[in-house]
Amino acid sequence: MQAFDTVRNRSFPCDMWRPTEPVGVCPIILLSHSSGGSGPRGYTFLTNHLASHGYIVAGLNHSELVAPELERRESETPEQRAAPEARLEPAPVGIVGHSFGGWTALASPDVLHQIRAVVALAPGGSSNPRPGILPAKLAFKWGRDVPTLVLVADNDVCLPLDGMYEIFDRIPAAKRMVVLRHADHMHFMDNVEQLHEAVRTSPPWIPELDYLQQEMRPIAELCTGEQSHLFVRGLTVAHFDAVLKQNDEARRFLAGDIQAELASRGVEAFVHSAA
């Protein structure tokens, strides 16, 4: 389907995932993908899982929009940025995004007041990005509590942990960060093994990213796609269930020993505490 932005006078392809047997009002999850060319369909491991748990997932394909839209955003009014024509009530709304989409997920509560929960997967937005990484700023002018889950990788060459910790410390809300061990930036997408090796062994698409080939570890030295997908799916659904559905079981799971729970499922991770 197409989503039309009347403020910017353009249409965006929009992929939707829905529960097969919806019960009552289904919470809505907005998906923002990375700046690569995969679009929302590069995250079907997560979107299908969310739909199976009673969520409607909407993912706009904004693959062609990166730096130009960020520059434009600086001069737009809050009303333009929020696109007020998009009416999301009465269903509760959450947002999940990866990489540049993770930046979008963290920036959206500034202007979209319907958002009640955020999941950021290896988000951009640190104050000192590596060469070739978009220097996108995060204002964090939320003005309210938007419970946030940040999931990151300990071997992320593009977005190292120190930048992730900095972003996490700035989030002005109830928050939790879980770090997946032996994982890189592509572990948050479909086809982890193939995509990781393609990025590691191919010439960089811009010269500033030539360090990727030098620093990325072979996929055989990292965790599997199955392990990373279990990590992302389980924690993302638990967070949205706890916040958007007020689910007590999900709240108890997140308040418990997450590291031990993941280890019992063959996933190595640790919880990072705020400074």
pLDDT at 72 over 50: no
The confidence score (pLDDT) of residue 67 equals: 40
Closest CA to 117 of 50, 27, 231: 27
**pLDDT tens digits for range 206-238:** 888 899 989 999 999 999 999 999 999 999 999
Architecture of domain 2-272: 3-Layer(aba) Sandwich (3.40)
**pLDDT tens digits for range 15-71:** 899 999 877 889 999 999 676 657 667 899 999 999 999 999 998 765 555 444 444
**pLDDT tens digits for range 144-160:** 999 999 999 999 999 99
Is the model more confident about 252 or about 20?
252
The confidence score (pLDDT) of residue 24 equals: 81
Q: Find the range with the poorest average confidence among 33-37, 164-168, 183-187, 263-267.
A: 33-37
User: What mean pLDDT comes out for the span 5-24?
Assistant: 75
Is the model more confident about 118 or about 77?
118
Q: What is the DSSP string of the chain?
A: -EEEETTTTEEEEEEEE--SS--SSPPEEEEE--SSS--GGGGHHHHHHHHHTT-EEEEE--TT-SHHHHHHHHHS-HHHHH-TT---TTS-EEEEEETHHHHHHHHGGGT-TTEEEEEEES----SSPPTTS----------S---EEEEEETT-SSS-HHHHHHHHHH--SSEEEEEETT--GGGGSSSHHHHHHHHHHSPPSSGGGTHHHHHPPPGGGS--HHHHHHHHHHHHHHHHHHHHS--HHHHHHHHS-HHHHHHTTT--EEEEPP-
User: What mean pLDDT comes out for the span 122-149?
Assistant: 90
Q: What is the DSSP string of 73-95?
A: HHHS-HHHHH-TT---TTS-EEE
Cα→Cα distances 84→87, 96, 110, 208, Å: 7, 20, 13, 38
Q: What is the DSSP string of 15-39?
A: EEE--SS--SSPPEEEEE--SSS--
Identify which of 83-97, 100-114, 171-185 has the greatest average pLDDT: 171-185
Pairing status of strand 93-98 against strand 2-5 = unpaired
**Average predicted confidence (pLDDT) for the chain:** 87
pLDDT at 76 over 60: no
